[in-house]
């Protein structure tokens, strides 16, 4: 038995008792290599699941009660609820995520006739932009499927997770995070066309380099409302473009076509937002082609260009993420570096040659501390599989 499995079962025993009747599950976190803020614009994304994520220990109950405990928020103790207490937008702590998924299953006609005891332990830093919330959502879906016998595929788990986030937690996110987690595959990134959910696994062959995550430790506060704001800016820009060109989404435009019609967007800020959505989608296509051709240098250059676009046109980086990326670019042996996830804090992702990793962590870490006033954290990560029963 793995060390973590033993640890979470022990804790379940302490908190709820009779751990012998419980099962252990895992769902990963994710990092997006390129294709940011494209998933709600009908564009492409290129994320991968990680080997870090969320562990869940669960057991069905005979009554309608739901009892939750998180080892990441031990101070909250056991949070009690029931199958009769689902209030979209109304939960004030982490239980909003598993409850949202239970509610979403019910909405889709899959009713739970009895409650459960659920203990979680996550080794993804919370609120870091590595999708700790989508990880909990997909994990919960995998648990419900197993404990209640619901017939759903991993892709369904992604869609139900997104539905719960949109309708229960009121964040208008795209499909990328839940899809990357539910469909994760070891050592591969997922090249996903969000306009039709067609996808392809692309082996991430880094030839003597590693993926390093730099966590800014800036917590996102107003991030989610800005997220919804960016999304509606893009929707308005699309509606303006649709008056002059026949497209269903910004993802259908290449740069030349966008250039030709962009005058139809009546506001400079919205023009920049749409420009990012268009150019980022094109960069993602080019980056995947470069990776397939073994041209890692080109992949890295496109990552850097993605950051610049997110900084200047989409304006979702901020001084913390800019410092992480810009300091990374200065380090010899860094192939590419960019913010990842929604932005407004969270993490950057860098591809760094093996021999340069220690120096990278030291020099980016020192520069970050000096400029920002608190430390960043660094994780050398590996690409893992989707949800599993342990």
Q: Which residues are catalytic?
A: 177
**Bridge partners, 336 (sequence order):** 351
Cα 64 to Cα 20, 97, 148, 213: the distances in Å are 21, 18, 14, 41
Place of tokens 């409302």: 225
- Residues 63-122 touching ligand GLA, rule: CB under 6 A, are none
How far apart are the C-alpha atoms of 303 and 310, rounded to whole Å? 11
User: What minimum distance in Å lies between the beta carbon of 268 and ligand GLA?
Assistant: 22
Q: Is 39 in the site for ligand GLA (CB under 6 A)?
A: yes
Q: Pick between residue 35 and residue 115 the one whose CB is nearest to ligand GLA.
A: 35
Binding residue (CB under 6 A) for ligand GLA from 174, 223, 251, 386 = 174
CA angle 220, 40, 162 (to 5 degrees): 70
Q: Within 10 A of 322 (CB to CB), how many other CB atoms are there?
A: 18
Binding mask 296-335 toward ligand GLA (x if CB under 6 A, else -) reads ----------------------------------------
> By CB under 6 A, is residue 138 in contact with ligand GLA?
no
User: Contact between 342 and ligand GLA (CB under 6 A)?
Assistant: yes
Q: Does 177 engage in binding with ligand GLA (CB under 6 A)?
A: yes
Minimum Å distance from CB 339 to ligand GLA?
Answer: 10
Binding to ligand GLA by residue 173, rule CB under 6 A? yes
Interface with ligand GLA (CB under 6 A), residue from 176, 215, 335, 347? 176
- Cα–Cα dist 148/111, whole Å: 9
Nearest residue (CB) to ligand GLA, 39 versus 117: 39
160 lies in the binding site for ligand GLA (CB under 6 A): no
Please pick, from the candidates 12, 36, 70, 188, the single residue that binds ligand GLA as defined by CB under 6 A.
Answer: 36
What is the rounded CA–CA span in Å between residue 368 and residue 374? 8
Contact of 332 with 350, CB cutoff 8 Å: no
Distance CA 350, CA 348 (A): 7
Q: Which is nearer to ligand GLA, 141 or 174 (CB)?
A: 174
| CB distance 293 to 313 below 8 Å | no
Decide if 315 contacts 343 (C-beta within 8 A): no
Q: Which of 42, 115, 184, 341 binds ligand GLA (CB under 6 A)?
A: 341
**Which residues within the stretch 184-213 sit at the binding site for ligand GLA (CB under 6 A)?**
none
Contact 347, 215 (CB under 8 A): yes
Nearer to ligand GLA, 59 or 272 (CB): 272
Q: How many residues bind ligand GLA (CB under 6 A)?
A: 10
Backbone angles phi, psi at 328, to 5 degrees: -65, -40
Summarize as ranges the residues that interact with ligand GLA (CB under 6 A). 36-37, 39-40, 173-174, 176-177, 341-342
């Amino acid at each position: 038995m793995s060390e973590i499995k033993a640890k979470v079962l022990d804790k379940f025993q302490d908190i709820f008792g009779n751990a012998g009747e419980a099962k252990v599950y895992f769902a990963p976190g994710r990092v997006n290599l390129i294709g940011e803020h494209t998933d709600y614009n009908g564009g492409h994304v290129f994320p991968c699941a990680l080997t870090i994520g969320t562990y869940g220990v669960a057991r069905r109950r005979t009554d309608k009660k739901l009892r939750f405990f998180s080892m990441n928020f031990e101070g909250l103790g056991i949070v009690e609820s029931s199958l009769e207490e689902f209030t979209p937008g109304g939960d004030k702590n982490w239980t909003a995520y598993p409850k949202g998924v239970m509610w979403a299953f019910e909405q889709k006609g899959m009713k739970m006739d009895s409650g459960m005891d659920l203990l979680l332990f996550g080794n993804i830093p919370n609120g870091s932009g590595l999708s700790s919330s989508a990880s909990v959502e997909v994990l919960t879906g995998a648990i419900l499927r197993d404990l209640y016998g619901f017939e759903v595929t991993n892709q369904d788990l992604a869609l139900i997770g997104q539905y719960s986030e949109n309708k229960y937690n009121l964040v208008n996110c795209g499909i990328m995070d839940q899809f990357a987690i539910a469909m994760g595959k070891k050592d591969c990134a997922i090249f996903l066309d969000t306009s039709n959910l067609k996808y392809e696994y692309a082996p991430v062959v880094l030839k003597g380099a590693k993926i390093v995550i730099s966590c800014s430790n800036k917590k996102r506060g107003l991030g989610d409302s800005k997220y919804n704001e960016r999304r509606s800016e893009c929707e308005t820009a699309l509606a303006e473009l649709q008056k002059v060109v026949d497209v269903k989404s910004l993802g259908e435009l290449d740069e030349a076509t966008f250039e030709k019609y962009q005058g139809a967007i009546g506001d400079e800020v919205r023009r920049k937002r749409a420009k990012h959505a268009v150019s980022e989608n094109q960069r993602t296509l080019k980056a995947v082609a470069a990776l397939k051709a073994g041209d890692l240098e080109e992949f890295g250059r496109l990552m850097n260009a993605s950051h610049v676009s997110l900084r200047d046109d989409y304006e979702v980086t901020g001084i913390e993420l800019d410092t992480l990326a810009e300091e990374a670019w200065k380090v010899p042996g860094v192939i590419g570096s960019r913010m990842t996830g929604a932005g407004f804090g969270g993490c950057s992702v860098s591809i760094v040659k093996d021999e340069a990793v220690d120096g990278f962590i030291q020099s980016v870490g020192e520069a970050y501390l000096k400029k920002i006033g608190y430390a960043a954290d660094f994780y050398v990560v590996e690409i893992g599989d989707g949800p599993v029963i342990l």
